[in-house]
Structure 1
Amino acid sequence: MGPFTLFDKSFLQSLSVDESVWFDHFFVPVVCPLFFVETLADLAKEMKEGSLRTAEDEVRIVADKTPVLSGMPCVHHGELCVGSLMGTFAPHPGQIPMAGGRPVRNPEGKPGVVFKNSPEAEAFARWQRGQFLEVERGAAADWRRMLSELDLQAVGRGMQALGITPQNCKTIEEAHGIASSLVHTEAAPEQQLRLMFTFVDVPGRFQRAIHERWREAGFPPLAQFAPYAAHVLKVELFFQIALAAKLIAAERASNRADIAYLFYLPFCNVFVSADKLHRRCVQPFLRKDQDFAWGPDLKADLSRINVELSGASEAERLQGLHKFAPRPPGDVGNLVPSLWHRHGFELQKPEEQETAVPPEAHDKLLAHLRGFQEAATAPEVAEMPSDDLESLSIERLVPPKKGSWWLIPKHVADEERRQGRTVE
C-alpha cells in the first residue's frame, strides 16, 4: 500500500489489465464520484460506424481495470461542502471520506465503524459481468445530455462582463491567483455565500444555518471558515475566470466535467491523469506535499514493473501480491519508487522472520472480526470523533485473480471457493 492517489478515467483507460493490477497494489486509489459517473455515461456513447465494440463493451473494459484492493469511493463533494460549511467536516490528507459506515461496538465494547461493499463497487462488479440496470442507462443518457447542453461560451462572457479578459489575466497562475484572493478576502461575504450556494447547490434547509454560523463567527475569510468548501469554490471560480480569459477552451463541454476532478485533490498525495487540461491547470492547486504524475509516464513505469515481475516463478505468483511483491521494484530513478520515497514509504524490504500462527489463534482472530462486523448498531458512536474509534472494517469485492496475477494467495482462493464465498 503506497501513496493515496487520485486518478481520472483517461489514465485508467490507458492501462492494460495487468498494469492496472500494479496501480491498485502499489497505490491507494481515490475513486472520486466523477469517475463513476463518467464511466456510466459511456453506456449512452455513440460508437463509431464499423466498431467491433459496443458501449457496454467499453464500460466493461473500464470496470475490469477499476481498483478493488485498497482504494475506496469518496463522498460527493457537494455533501462534503455542506459538512465544511456546517463545521462538521475538515479534510485530512491521507484519508478518503467515505459514506455508509455503520457505527458499532465490538464484543469488548470498543467503538468502531463497519463499511459494507459500496454501491459503486457492486455496480462495477456487475458491469464486469456485462449486467447493466435500466436506471443506469437512464442516468448515462442524462449525463451525456447535460454535457451537450452546457454553454461554456456564455459562462465565459458572463465573467468577461465582470472585467476578466485575456488582457488582464494572461496565465493559468494568474487565474488561480484571482480565484484564491476571492476566497481569502473578508469582503462581500454575502456574495461569496450566494456563489457557494449556486455552484454547489446547497439544499435550502441548510442555507440559513450556514449563514448564521458564519455571521456568528464574524464573517472571517471563507478559506478560514470552511476550508474544503473554499477549495471547491476556488476551483469553480478559477474555471470561469480561465474561460473568460480564453485560457481554457469553451468549445469542449467536457472541460467542465474534467475540471471537477480537482475538487478531490485535498484527499490525495498524488494526482495522476492523462488529460492535457489537468496537466495545464493542476499545479497551482497542489500543496507542497503533493505531486502530479503524467499518465503516460506512470503507465510506462507500471509496464516496466509488470515486465520485471513477470519473470517470477509460478510458485512465487501463487503467494498473492502482498507476499510476492510488497514493494515496487526499482530505485528512485523510476517513477513508482520515487513517489513511494517522496511520500514516506519504505522501498527496501526489512528483514522479516515469519512466525507461524497456531490454528486456534487464527480461528480466534476470525471469530473476533466476525463479531465486530455482526455487532449491533451503536448510534452514539456516530457522534464520536474519528480519532477516537478503535476499529474500522471495510468489506471488499476482490476477485482471486486479475489478468495474469493472483491478487490473494491461491490456497486462500481455493478455500473461499470451497466455502462458496468466491466473488468470481
Structure 2
Amino acid sequence: MADRKTDAKTTLDVLVAGAGYVGLAAAVSLKQARPNLAVAVVDAAPAGVWQKDGRASAIAAAACRMLDQLGVWQEIVGQSQAITEMIVTDSRTADPVRSVFLTFDGEVAPGEPFAHMVANKDLNGALRRRAQELGIDIIEGVAVTSFDSNGAGVTVHLADGATLKARLLVAADGVNSKLRDMAGIKTVKWEYGQSGIVCTVAHERPHNGRAEEHFLPAGPFATLPLKPTEDGTNRSSLVWVERSEDAQKLVDGDDLVFEHELELRFGLKLGEIRVIDKPRAWPLSLTIARAFVAPRIALAGDAAHGIHPIAGQGLNLGFKDVAALAEVIVEADRLGQDIGALDVLERYQQWRRFDTVQMGVTTDVLNRLFSNDIGPLRQLRDIGLGLVERMPRLKEFFIRQASGLSGDTPRLFKGEQI
C-alpha cells in the first residue's frame, strides 16, 4: 500500500474509488482544474498490479485531446500506434476470399488520426505519475467496505479500518462495481453468451497502421495495430469474439489448436504469425446502471456502463464520463455550489445517460445483426455496408462518432481547458 497523506482527520472534497484509467483521469481532471480541491484515490487492487497488464486499448481522437490537456499525452504518444486506416469485412471463417465492404481513412483532421493504440500499462503509468505531480494521494490494496451519505458529505469505511470523509464519492470500480451496489443502484443487464479473447500476435510483415474488423458468424474478429518493438517485431492486438464455451476451450486447450484456429481467422496477409502472450477470455454482457448518481456518489466508466466491444468504444465512453463529470464539478465549485449535492450531480447524469444508453443499444443491435449466419440478414447488412462505402458524408459521420467528437462534447474532449 502506498504511503498515505490522507488519514481519517483529512476532509476531502472528492474521493475516487478505483485507480484504473477512468478513476485516475477523473482525479487528475479535477485537481488540475481546481488545485484547491482535496482529491484522493483508493483502490482495492494490490500495488503494482497494473504493471502486469499486457493488453492495449484504442484511444479515440477526442480522448487523446483530453489526455493532452491533462499533461500525459506527450509521454504516451511516442509509444502509441496511430490507426491510419480501418477496413470492415463480412464473411464466414472458411471463405477463401474476404470481400472488403467498408473502408475508413484514419484522420478526423489533417495529421490527427481518429484513434491510437496505447499499451494499458503505459496509459496507467502516465496517469499515475501526473496524479503524483499534482499531489493526489493514491491508497492501494485497500477496498471500500461501506459508506454513509448525509446532507453534508459521505463517510467512507475502508477494509483496513480507516474512515475517510468527503463531499463527493466517485465510483470508478469497474463493471461489477461494489460501490454501485452499496448505493442501491440497480442495473439493466443481459449476457451475450459470447466471450472476448484478447492476445497479442507477432507477424512477418508490417501492418502499416491498418485496423481490420471481420464480422464472422460467432462474433467480430478485430486486429488492431501496435507499435513495433525496439527490435523491429511487428505486432497486432486481437479482440476475438466467440461463443463462450468455444472461447474457453480455445484458451484452455492446446497451443497448436489455438494457433490453427487463429490463422484461419487472421489469414496470411501479414505473413507467418505467432502468439506472444497468454490468451485470455472475458465473458461479454451489456450492463447499464439505472441511475448514474445517488446522494453524494457519481458512477463513471464501467461502473456506469459495460457494452459490447464490437465498436471499441468502452474505454472512450468512460473517458467521456470523466470529461463531463469534471466540467460539471468544476463549474459548480467556481459558483460556490456544493459539488456533492444531488442537483449538481443530476447535471452530469442528464449529460451522459442518453449518450450511453444510445451507444449500448447501438452495439447490441450491431452484435445481433452481424454475429450470425442467417442468409437474408447477411444480404441486408452487406447491402447496407456497401451503401455506406459509397456515401462520403455518412462515412465522415461514422468517423466522428468513432473519434468521440459527435454530440454534446465536453470541453476536455475538444482539447480545451475546463
Q: What TM-score does the superposition give when structure 2 sets the normalisation length? A: 0.26
Higher strand residue share = 2
Higher helix residue share = 1
